[in-house]
A and B are shown apart, each in its own frame.
Chain A
Amino acid sequence: MSGRKKTLLKVIILGDSGVGKTSLMQQFVNNKFSHQYKATIGADFLTKEISIDNNKQVTLQIWDTAGQERFQSLGVAFYRGADCCVLCFDVTNEKSLNNLSSWKDEFLVQSNVSNPQDFPFIIIGNKIDVDDSKKIPSLQKKLSNITSNQLGGLNYPVFETSAKDAINVEQAFEVVAKMALQQEELNDINGGVDDDYNDAINIHLESDNYGCAC
């Protein structure tokens, strides 16, 4: 089905600052955890080859992003062509949970994906290793409220993980890879992401004789 020689799947990790995006990526790709991660500036990415389903080899290219809101303006450059988006929150930080939908909206605006309605998102609640007393009270209820009210009632897969203790990280990314692969195949059927169309929205300059209008 896919005309490409090598299946490269692009995954974007989004979420508030400090929820553990770097830790999740490091745990998944390098199987390690450190207390000494620095704040991410701009974006970092790592790749990992995995096999999914019937031994299909894919390369996951995982982009870890800066969590501060203003960095979203740099998003244009790397949201484009994404195959799956991971929305992260910290199970001890209610605000990060409440911000999930704005991360999703921002992603859809910036990436201009062709199928915003069924673009694959996955939700990860990280830091479940932390003491229960610090966790968001009645998390499940709040989470389902958010998915039904703010995330358009769409049933995105939800994983509760601990990047520190390597709980559920592997499982979550396996689902990420499957969803990303589906999206990639969908794009292939549709002839790929229509870059021209997307550019037109941002004013298509290339084809115009745009000169210096000073």
Chain B
Amino acid sequence: MIDMSNVTGIAEGKSLTAMGNKDHVDHLKDEGDIPLRHHERTGSNQTNNYSVLDFYEMDSPNPGAERQFGNTPKRFDNDPVSEGETSGDVTDDEQEHEVPISPANISNNIPSQHSPKDRDDTDVPLQFDEELGFSSITGSEFDIYGFKKSSSYHGISREEYDKWFLEYHKYTQKNRKKWHLLMKNNGLSILDNNTPKRFPPRSNKVKKMIRKGLPPEWRGSAWFFYAGGYEKLNKHVGVYEQIVRDTKNIQNKDTEVIERDLNRTFPDNKYFNDLLRLKPQTTEYGKNEGETQIIKALRRVLVAFAHYQPHIGYCQSLNFLAGLLLLFMEEEKAFWLLVILTERIIPNVHSADLEGVHTDQGVLMLCIKEYIPSLWSVIGRNYDGEALGEDAVISKLPPASLVTSSWFMSIFVTVLPVETALRVWDILWYEGSKTIFRISLTICKLCFEHPEFQDIRSRSIGSSETEQIELYQFMQNYPKTLQDCNLLISSCYKKIGGYGFGSLSQDEINQCRHYISKQRSKLQNKQLLSANLSREERNSLISSSLPASNQEDYSDVYEFHKPIMSGVRWNRNLSTKMKRKFSKKN
């Protein structure tokens, strides 16, 4: 139960000890998280996704009032999301919601949820005025998101950008019409061209539309909706504000790195870097007084996140994720999407030991081995050209993962051109982490098959080392030039003429992840055990602790070929598929 004395203390604006505040927040967090496990599972299920929004929209007397859930606790009775939850959970929610938050108490500038246009904070580009935005964009040096069009990093000039944009804009327009139609067919009206708050339930049709891309001005709202943001927010009303208050003057190792990264997040975006708009290249760089609203919001989100997820704290690359989210939504929502991402979509990727990076890179490498064997024949070797052992992927990652790990950590932000990354994000929030694997495989294959690389390759015959280095260089640079979003997306998902990585299922990835992390933890245990032993002792320990399995069994694991291995349950569908494939090979 929530300690009401603390809650009242906050409500009355009493000054609490830091300890008390922290307890309160942790408590809320726990309260929220326990029922959430049950809740989240239903949350990923389409039918419940907009139910919370019903709650938001149905009888909210005025926009912005929905924060004060406490006023209308009975609405939960009609909330299908609460179905199946114990009444105790619901009661807890209500108590959470009863914390009255007076706007005066909220020190930060969290704008009201339903009225992005009322935001006094004109710095933040939440809305994209269709008319104004698109017609004036060709005359501007910035794109619709505020990024500089010409970028030496992405090797594109303003003229090239405009040329691309002109075409792509037509595509976006056509797509926008389809989206409006889809909304209409689902009985979701869009008043006055406002950004919708709810979207159609999940279906193949919607998935297809998402893959075609969301209208830019709807992105934040749709991402939040499909990722289960409202469920999360609903469970944690007021928590973000509280953490922001608690962490306002906090200083620690995390905040130090955060401070250093704020201005290194999107220095090429006018909302992040005032100097781009004001006095380009004349003022001393990095001075605090020119700090934009969005930088301030970024600081609050990152500091709050580090506080809320202490096992992660601050990890470089979160700045890019939060930064991009902030271009599309207000900070409270950005905060919760960041939480959802790190809890459910790519767990442990940003944790202090980056264990999730090792796991996911291991999975990716196994996928490359399985699905792009020609590429694996280059990267699955050491520099002397010897093929990596079956287990090398688990014990030490091949160097190619140095390039690909940043794809996972910053989910292609700064890796791909902005619009291309956004298209991937559209799919990510709807379909989950398999998207990152599928897109990564696609990029890898596009790189490998690129005539330019094949040309370089043919010239660098002989040395495996040279060949690999050329490939890493290419894998590092090529994604930056992938301005043609539709090429990437269709190569990934199209069955004809594409690579068809769309058949790589989430189940398969999850099983593979599970397998790798299990093997890794075993390996780590052994390493710890044998840390103080001599080489001979260590070797005998290893061999004695191993079961009498043979190499064949072991390689089967990696080749995705057999349905059953200990600790890993392959779904029947996959195993049949693989059997078929295997029998064809023979």
Q: A residues bordering B, Cβ < 8 Å? A: 5-6, 8, 17-18, 34-45, 47, 61, 66-68, 70-71, 73-74, 76-78, 81, 195, 200, 202-206, 208-214
Q: A66-B316, A77-B401, A205-B391 in contact; A214/B567 too (CB < 8 A)? A: yes
| Interchain residue pairs with CB less than 8 A apart (10) | A5-B463, A39-B319, A39-B320, A40-B316, A208-B539, A210-B542, A211-B546, A211-B549, A212-B549, A212-B567
Q: Which A-chain residue is minimally distant from B462 (CB atoms)?
A: A5
Given A38-B414, A78-B399, output 16 extra A-B contacts at Cβ < 8 Å: A8-B465, A36-B267, A39-B260, A70-B353, A70-B354, A71-B316, A200-B539, A203-B395, A203-B527, A203-B530, A205-B389, A208-B542, A209-B546, A211-B554, A212-B554, A213-B545
A contact face: mostly helix, strand, loop, or mixed = loop
Q: How far is the CB of B573 from chain A (nearest CB, A)?
A: 23
- Indicate with 1 or 0, residue by residue over B445-471, a CB within 8 angstroms of chain A CB atoms: 000000000000000001101100100
B37 at the interface (CB under 8 A from A): no
B392 at the interface (CB under 8 A from A): yes
Residues of B within 8 A of A66 (CB): 316
Q: A44-B476, A202-B527 in contact; A209/B409 too (CB < 8 A)? A: no
Contact at B398–A8, with CB atoms within 8 Å?
A: no
B535 at the interface (CB under 8 A from A): yes
B204 at the interface (CB under 8 A from A): no
Q: How far is the CB of B311 from chain A (nearest CB, A)?
A: 12
Q: How far is the CB of B512 from chain A (nearest CB, A)?
A: 14
Contact at B315–A68, with CB atoms within 8 Å?
A: yes
Within 8 Å by CB of A77, from B261, B286, B397, B462, lies B397
Residues of B within 8 A of A208 (CB): 539, 542-543, 546
Q: How far is the CB of A122 from chain B (nearest CB, A)?
A: 22
The stretch from B70-78, B160-168, B518-526 touching chain A is B518-526
Q: A45-B472, A203-B527 in contact; A70/B567 too (CB < 8 A)? A: no
Q: Which A-chain residue is minimally distant from B315 (CB atoms)?
A: A70
Chain A-chain B contacts (Cβ-Cβ < 8 Å), number: 153
What is the bound-complex CA distance between A47 and B468, given in angstroms?
A: 13
Contact at B523–A203, with CB atoms within 8 Å?
A: yes
Residues of A within 8 A of B397 (CB): 74, 76-77
What is the bound-complex CA distance between A77 and B286, given in angstroms?
A: 33
Q: A47-B469, A200-B535, A203-B538 in contact; A41/B316 too (CB < 8 A)? A: yes
Q: How far is the CB of A197 from chain B (nearest CB, A)?
A: 9
Instruction: Give the contacts of B392-429 with A (CB-CB under 8 A).
Output: 392, 395-399, 401-403, 405-406, 409-410, 414
Contact at A211–B523, with CB atoms within 8 Å?
A: no
Interface size class of B (residues with CB under 8 A): 35 or more
Contact at B389–A206, with CB atoms within 8 Å?
A: yes
Contact at B316–A45, with CB atoms within 8 Å?
A: no
Within 8 Å by CB of A209, from B281, B354, B549, B565, lies B549
Q: Which A-chain residue is minimally distant from B519 (CB atoms)?
A: A212
Residues of A within 8 A of B473 (CB): 45, 47
Within 8 Å by CB of B317, from A8, A41, A78, A203, lies A41
Instruction: Give the contacts of B495-544 with A (CB-CB under 8 A).
Output: 518-519, 522-523, 526-527, 530, 535, 538-539, 542-543
Q: B residues bordering A, Cβ < 8 Å? A: 152, 257, 260-261, 264-268, 273, 281, 285-286, 315-317, 319-320, 352-354, 357-358, 382-383, 389-392, 395-399, 401-403, 405-406, 409-410, 414, 462-463, 465-466, 469, 472-473, 476, 518-519, 522-523, 526-527, 530, 535, 538-539, 542-543, 545-551, 553-554, 557, 565-567
What is the bound-complex CA distance between A5 and B392, given in angstroms?
A: 28
Within 8 Å by CB of B469, from A8, A37, A203, A214, lies A8
Contact at A35–B315, with CB atoms within 8 Å?
A: no
What is the bound-complex CA distance between A183 and B453, given in angstroms?
A: 31
Q: Which A-chain residue is minimally distant from B313 (CB atoms)?
A: A70
What is the bound-complex CA distance between A95 and B390, given in angstroms?
A: 42
Residues of B within 8 A of A73 (CB): 353-354, 358
Contact at B398–A77, with CB atoms within 8 Å?
A: yes
Contact at B405–A74, with CB atoms within 8 Å?
A: yes
Q: Which of B317, B382, B398, B462 has the most CB of A within 10 A?
A: B317
Q: Which B-chain residue is minimally distant from A46 (CB atoms)?
A: B473
Residues of A within 8 A of B554 (CB): 209-212
Within 8 Å by CB of B396, from A43, A77, A200, A212, lies A77
Q: Which A-chain residue is minimally distant from B266 (CB atoms)?
A: A38
Residues of A within 8 A of B567 (CB): 212, 214
Q: How far is the CB of A204 from chain B (nearest CB, A)?
A: 8
Q: Which B-chain residue is minimally distant from A193 (CB atoms)?
A: B383
Q: A35-B267, A35-B285, A214-B567 in contact; A74/B316 too (CB < 8 A)? A: no
Q: Which A-chain residue is minimally distant from B545 (CB atoms)?
A: A213
Within 8 Å by CB of B382, from A38, A43, A195, lies A195
Q: Which A-chain residue is minimally distant from B383 (CB atoms)?
A: A81
What is the bound-complex CA distance between A68 and B257, given in angstroms?
A: 8
Closest 7 CB pairs of A and B: A211-B549, A214-B566, A206-B389, A36-B267, A42-B406, A41-B406, A18-B260
Residues of B within 8 A of A195 (CB): 382
Residues of B within 8 A of A40 (CB): 316
Q: How far is the CB of A71 from chain B (nearest CB, A)?
A: 7
What is the bound-complex CA distance between A44 and B546, given in angstroms?
A: 38
What is the bound-complex CA distance between A204 and B392, given in angstroms?
A: 10
Residues of A within 8 A of B542 (CB): 203, 208, 210
Q: Which of A17, A43, A70, A81 has the most CB of B within 10 A?
A: A70
Q: Which A-chain residue is minimally distant from B415 (CB atoms)?
A: A41
Q: How far is the CB of A164 from chain B (nearest CB, A)?
A: 10
Residues of A within 8 A of B469 (CB): 8, 47, 61
